Amino acid sequence: MLSEYQNWNSVSTLYVQWWAGKDSNLRRHKPADLQSAPFGRLGTDPQVCKPIGLSIVSVMPSFDVVSEVDRQELKNAVDQAQRELANRFDFKNTDSSIEQKELVLTIRTSSEDRLRALKVLIEEKFVKRQISLRGLEWGKVEQASGESVRQIVTVTVGISSDKAREINKLIKEKAPKGIASQTQGEQLRVTGKKRDDLQETMALLKGADLGIAIQFENFRD
């Protein structure tokens, strides 16, 4: 019996000594300060979870070169031409007409002489509605039914790739230093550091014989 007690006492003593050492080691570790952790309660290293800053992008002044037409003004011009055609004495008994389908006009009349008069009439109405005549492509005069003649007129929109190359070349050769241009689909983006240089480039393009109607949009200073 004494031997069992001595054995138990030895085991107890060893356990207390082990726990004392263990407890001492645990106390040397500071508890995690979850409230003051730099990022969340997990205390993630701020160097790892560094917030992503938004970089400030400097946008250069620019404008877009486009070739468009106001569809409502186009319709108004054609309507005015049709009304005048119906009332003009010199077009009576000539079976003359102006038909519009989207951006295509078909004009018909009795002779090439009356066809030329129709052309003048249409151009007058276009100018009155501030539609550039540079955007008109006049097709060949064709023989229609009987002795009548007809002509197809197409109102062009958009800048073709060939015309875009021509405009880019003009800007590269004659625009102020620092002006650059880039084709973007059927339009061009022109950029530069100075507002005055962009305005000078606009004047250059307006005065050039490009063969198409152009407008300037989205000016960014």
pLDDT for 142-197, tens place per residue? 988 788 999 999 999 999 999 999 999 999 999 999 999 999 999 999 999 999 99
Convert 120-141 into a string of H (helix), E (strand) and C (coil): HHHHHHHHHCCCCHHHEEECCC
pLDDT for 10-60, tens place per residue? 555 555 455 555 544 544 545 544 444 444 444 444 444 444 455 555 578
Q: What integer pLDDT is reported at residue 58 of this predicted model?
A: 59
Closest to 201 in 3D by CA, of 182, 165, 166, 177: 177
What's the CA angle centered on 149, arms 145 and 150, to 5 degrees? Answer: 105
Exposure pattern of 6-35 as b/e (b: 16+ CB <10 Å)?
Answer: eeeeeeeeeeeeeeeeeeeeeeeeeeeeee
Q: What is the pTM of this model?
A: 0.67
- Cα 49 to Cα 85: distance, rounded to the nearest angstrom: 76
Q: Domains, the chain, ranges and CATH?
A: 62-67+159-220 (3.30.70.860), 71-155 (3.30.70.990)
Give the mean pLDDT of 104-126: 96
Exposure pattern of 106-125 as b/e (b: 16+ CB <10 Å)?
Answer: ebbbbeeebbebbeebbbeb
- Cα 12 to Cα 8: distance, rounded to the nearest angstrom: 6
- Cα 118 to Cα 95: distance, rounded to the nearest angstrom: 12
How many other C-beta atoms are found inside a 10 Å radius of the C-beta of residue 102? Answer: 9
How many other C-beta atoms are found inside a 10 Å radius of the C-beta of residue 53? Answer: 6
What's the CA angle centered on 50, arms 45 and 56, to 5 degrees? Answer: 170
Q: What integer pLDDT is reported at residue 17 of this predicted model?
A: 57
Which residues on adjacent β-strands are paired with residue 101? 104
> Three-state SS for 154?
strand
